[in-house]
Amino acid sequence: MMRIQKFFAYLLVLSVGFGAFLVTAAPAEAASLPPWPYIYSGSVTVAGNPASDGSVVTAKIGTYTSVGVVVKDGRYVGLAVGAPDVTYVGNAITFHLDDVVVAAETDVFRLLLTPELKSPFDLTFPAYPTPTPLPTPTATNTPIPTPTPDVPGPMLISGVIELDYGSSTDLLGETIVARVGSYFSEPVLIEENYGILIFDGLTLDPQDHKFIDLD
């Protein structure tokens, strides 16, 4: 009889211990799983007008940001908001459009037994902020440099000397020069060729553009 009582006592202890294990293990397993999400759908307006197609709606809970959904025909569909762990439970859910403006509507993230659909959950956003215009640069006139006139190269002159009066022999051995303004060329010798007075190789090279077009 004593052996039977001890057996039941051991069985009772094992049963209590196993039950305690089940009780403690279940919450630990539940805590390790991410919470069930809320799934939102509804209309989207910006400053009273339907949001543009292609705009993106996201939801945020603290540091968590959901995967965005694209607006079409002024509506968003299937925005799943499920935080990674239970530490987010009880925090506010905010809704964002293009990550620029925040909706007037908010929600609270709670622990669910199954995913919960929230439709219609309409979102109203303020107008997008007006971008700050960039300052218009002041136009400045770039001075155009005055081109420096080209300096003409040397000019070689040869010619015949005709006398109105006197004898040509009077000029043989003399020199002739050319003048342009204040410039004088180097002299060259007057020579005779078959009874004609000539000069050759008279060089004009003033090396200054100010003498251009002067006689």
Share of the chain above pLDDT 70, in %: 80
Predicted TM-score (pTM) of the model is: 0.50
Confidence at 210, pLDDT banded by 50, 70, 90: low
Over residues 103-147, the pLDDT tens digits come to: 999 999 999 999 999 999 999 999 999 887 888 887 777 888 877
Q: What is the dihedral of CA 197, 199, 200, 206, to 10 degrees?
A: -160
Q: What is the mean pLDDT of the chain?
A: 79
Residue 16 scores a pLDDT above 50: no
Give the pLDDT score at 180. Answer: 77
Residues 138, 176: Cα–Cα separation, whole Å: 62
Over residues 143-202, the pLDDT tens digits come to: 888 777 677 778 888 888 777 777 767 777 788 887 877 778 888 888 877 778 887 877
Give the pLDDT score at 74. Answer: 94
Give the pLDDT score at 196. Answer: 80
Residue 22 scores a pLDDT above 90: no
Give the pairing type, strands 116-118 and 38-46. parallel
Give the pLDDT score at 14. Answer: 38
Which domains can be identified in the chain, with CATH numbers?
34-125 (2.60.40), 155-211 (no CATH)
Residues 156, 210: Cα–Cα separation, whole Å: 19
Report residue 133 as tokens: 């215009």
Report residue 149 as tokens: 């006139």
Residue 4's CB is within 10 A of a number of other CB atoms, namely 8
Residue 63 scores a pLDDT above 80: yes
